[in-house]
Amino acid sequence: MGKQKVTTTIVILGAGFGGLACANALRKGLSRDHRVIVIDRKKSFMMGLVNLWILTGSRKPDEPQAPLAGLNARGMEYLNDEAIRIDVSAKRVQAKEHGLIEYDYLVVALGSELVPEKIEGFVGRGYNLYDAEQVQPLREKLLALKQGRVAVSVMGMPYKCPPAPYEAAMIISDILEKNGTRKNVQVDMYVPAPIALPVVGPQVSKEVVDMMARYNIGFHPNCKPKVVRDDEIEFESGEKAAYDVLAGVPPHRSPEVVRISSLTTSSAAGEWVPVDRLSLRTGHPGVFAIGDVAEVKSGTVTVPKAGIFAEGQAKVVAQEIIDEINNNGAPASSAAYNGQGFCFMEVGNNMAGFVEADFYHEGGPAVRLEPPSAQNYEKKHDFERSRLKEWLL
């Protein structure tokens, strides 16, 4: 008989909300005999919500981000690398620079990737709201606009952080107001769905549309872009909309390493990784998926792709792994994901609403939208500060 293996290796792919929350929880809950390896091609972490602060001008694009190397000082192993193959049968991952890495547990937290080129003509004509490098030029373009039309377009479903495009539309209105040009500029929101936020249901969707109406922002449902031209968007319905400035949320898909693995299910939604709604386990032993890359369903409801949900899922997965290791490999965890989360909905002028949701509620999603306030805006900043301190600083 060979020597008994003592050390457990847990590999986490991705250092976003889910990956960072999971890695830190594992490190706190396990002795240093067990390895926690985090692989990400980025060198630093920035929350997506920072894009909105770049848009408002309260945050500069070149401000320092939190270096992921901070994980090493906390007893984890951060590899600045890219996973190019996941082999669940051999329990190993192939990284571009570090080669084959074997694991006992694998947590896939790779998020989603943006595919702006999927919308013909968008690249070079529109600004990608989810690309930090394009948000500052968008702000400058808005400040230079004296009159005309601004179109904010959600270009595919599902997409991460569902309220973000609506936040952007209201912030754009606020920018124009402060610039003295709002009365000469029309702002319109175009979405491919029949209601604003299908994931939260008709009531909160109506509240969001009503909120935008107070800022004189037009709302246009059932508008899925087909092609973007120099001064107009043509939708799949054949309708067209003129614009002078176009800000878009491009279609999303799972990263290639996930799409070519045996983890996904082919579906029109973009080949996400199906998981158990309570344990976040995939169909493969020792393999979990969390955050945007995972498809977490409760009946017909899919949990949104947003950081707070990834964080909640990460804590459950970490506890399951800790309990299993401490129980010598036998599943013994009572940890279960509850489908609950919250987010802030910024509206400009240093104000933000607050959305609280329970997607596992028995009668369907229970969602509450709190009106905008200065307190919620400050809580949003506290949220960023607390997570960075907890995970990296």
Confidence bin at 1 (pLDDT 50/70/90):
very low
Kindly report, residue by residue over 336-391, the tens digit of the pLDDT: 999 999 999 999 999 999 999 999 998 888 999 999 999 999 999 999 999 999 99
Which region among 4-8, 201-205, 234-238 has the lowest average model confidence (pLDDT)? 4-8
Termini Cα distance of the chain: 44
CA distance 125 to 304: 29
Q: Name the nearest CA neighbour of 117 among 84, 156, 161.
A: 156
| CATH number among 3.40.109.10, 3.50.50.60, 3.90.1170.50, 3.90.76.10, domain 9-112+254-334 | 3.50.50.60
At 335 the pLDDT is: 85
Integer CA distances (angstroms), 122 to 25, 117, 249, 332, in order: 41, 7, 10, 50
With 90 as the cut, is the pLDDT of residue 91 above it? yes
Which region among 9-23, 89-103, 257-271, 365-379 has the lowest average model confidence (pLDDT)? 257-271
Q: Name the nearest CA neighbour of 138 among 165, 162, 157.
A: 165
With 60 as the cut, is the pLDDT of residue 266 above it? no
Strand-pairing partners, residue 227, are 120, 234
Up-side HSE of residue 180: CA atoms within 13 Å toward CB? 0
By residue count, the chain amounts to 393
Could you tell me which residues come within 8 angstroms of residue 26 by beta carbon, excluding any fewer than 6 positions away? 10, 34, 36, 318, 321, 322
Delimit the domains of the chain by residue range: 9-112+254-334, 115-252
Tokens matching residue 342: 């919250």
Fold designation for 115-252: FAD/NAD(P)-binding domain (3.50.50)
With 60 as the cut, is the pLDDT of residue 299 above it? yes
Same-fold call for 9-112+254-334 versus 115-252: yes
Q: Average pLDDT in the 5-17 region?
A: 90
CA distance 107 to 13: 6
SS3 67: strand
Model pTM greater than 0.75?
yes
Average of per-residue pLDDT values in the chain: 93
With 60 as the cut, is the pLDDT of residue 267 above it? no
At 108 the pLDDT is: 98
At 329 the pLDDT is: 65
Confidence bin at 201 (pLDDT 50/70/90):
confident
CA distance 233 to 225: 7
| Cα dihedral across residues 168, 365, 318, 25: positive or negative | positive
With 70 as the cut, is the pLDDT of residue 2 above it? no
CA distance 105 to 334: 18
